[in-house]
Structure 1
Amino acid sequence: MKALTKTINVMRIKKSRKYSVFLSFVIALTSSMLTGCDTDNNSAELANAVEVESLFEQGLLVEEITIKGAHTRIKAGETQQLNAIGITNGGTNVDVTNDTTWSSSDITIATVDENGLVTGIANSEVNQGIVIITATSNSTGISGEGQISVSDVVATGIKLNQPMSDGSNINTCIAVGITGDVTYADGYISMNTASGMSFSVDEASTATIDSNGILNTSSANIETTSITATLDEFTDTLSVTASPVNLDVIDILFDDEIIETSTLAMGERMLVNGQITLTTGETLYNIDTAINWLQADGSYLGITSTGDNKGTVLALRTGDTQLIGNCGGKQTAVTMTVTGEDDIESIEINQDLDIYIEPLGSIELTLTADYTDSSLSSLNVSEFAYWSIEENGALKGEYINLGTDTASYKVTSIIDEASDVTVTATYNGEVTTTTINIEELSSSE
């Protein structure tokens, strides 16, 4: 039986059509032999062989693994996410990051967890701090390798890369990552990385770019954006052109299903997503970061338009409206119905308590609306209120925790002295105020 097991293991990595024919024979032979040799080990080997054969017949058998995100330098204490991309016998690419076993060639310099997250342990000058990270398929035993360098050697220059390797335009609405090659004093080149860089786009463009180099575009016209990246004292600039000509249809999704109508009770939340199809094929793309959300009437729904929870909808007033998503000149809408009672009894900031903060301190203000409907009670409407601060230069404000039940308006003292500042919140025609007392607080308070 040991010889038979070895034969099956060898056959798991064959890549030609002979693999399929011969493995079928091995499986048949194994089935007959296992009749007289019933062990858990043999059963597992047989099950694995059958699964491999099935994947091969479907064109889903991973024959090669490449590592995405490798050939990158990090410092001790920093992390780098790697992804294992399997190339199947059917010619498709599949993410097998969570179906592989990860290992590091030197765990004293860098470790890697079961999800492909590499952590720098110690900066090294030996062999440019290079560690080999290996991902091995759990089903076929095929491996792929990538290198990570862990070192604190200074950078000597950066060069940004075109997001499309052939230099063609990107598709409007579909986010792309802007990366660059960083050269270091020891000669190492960190490839396709955004680590440590700060990004900006020219003011003439409607495009946006975040701290990770993710570029979002939404213009209905072809638009060229100038992107600048800075690392230490080094900078580089890149021009990227986004075109909407390939955009076809936008769909609005809830729980991964396309919707045309939806009903919410007063105070209920839901997270919707944007998806677009290109005229060049049936491939669907998530456009959550680029899509613009609005409604036909501005008072039935509260819509989170930025941040991690962008696309979160909160039912604020009963009736019917349309939730509209648009990007790149394309638009779609779903009918939203809000049910329940929406009569507001009162609104209040932080339960009408006295508010004290120290100079240069901060506090979160929460506006709640109390309803006559006892089943609804109070609702946090901070995100969708209009806040204003008395103009004496003592406070600044910002919305935080958008799209959640803990959304608030955070005010921070920007003076190092005592003061009293009036903050006003307006919601649904109701107005309320509170006084922020800026003063030194004793330890007992």
Structure 2
Amino acid sequence: AVAIGSTTVTASLGDIVSNRVAVTVTNAVLTAIQVTPPSASLPKGNRQQLTALGTFSDGSTLDLTDSVSWSSDSTAIATVDTLGELTAVDLGNTTISASRDDVVSNRVAITVTSAILTGIQVTPPTASLPKGNVQPLAALGTYSDGTTADLTNSVAWTSSDTAIAAVDSQGALIAVDEGNA
């Protein structure tokens, strides 16, 4: 099948010609879907884009990411939306696949790990203290799954100028001398 259309095929040997065989060539058909990456390990709450590459009977390939049906063996562990965006929901393992026209892709192994720290917010964000005064600071951690935790006693506190302001291991800010730090 070289191009779309209709033709007839015959076989001959010398003066003898076979019957005519009608041949109709249709559009290439989908023969395989390859989802990438072939595996993924994500912290809870994180997202990752998956892609689906279709291979057709004529050897051509086409990005089918937004035209396949995505599925997860366990949506309690990981989900995937209609555009191939994977979301790590809870700790565990599952597999993701894509399908179209009765062709099913490879199965992508997904591992969801514990949420990771993505940010720390110190409060108050600014402070003005008379020399010798102390003010407690707080550190609130934000994790990849959207949860938060008080990290005040577990972060490493530092000052840009300890001659102006110092901070102890519990987040107590001490105004040492006039100036900014």
How high is the TM-score relative to the length of structure 2?
A: 0.48
Higher radius of gyration, 1 or 2: 2
TM superposition score normalised by structure 1: 0.21
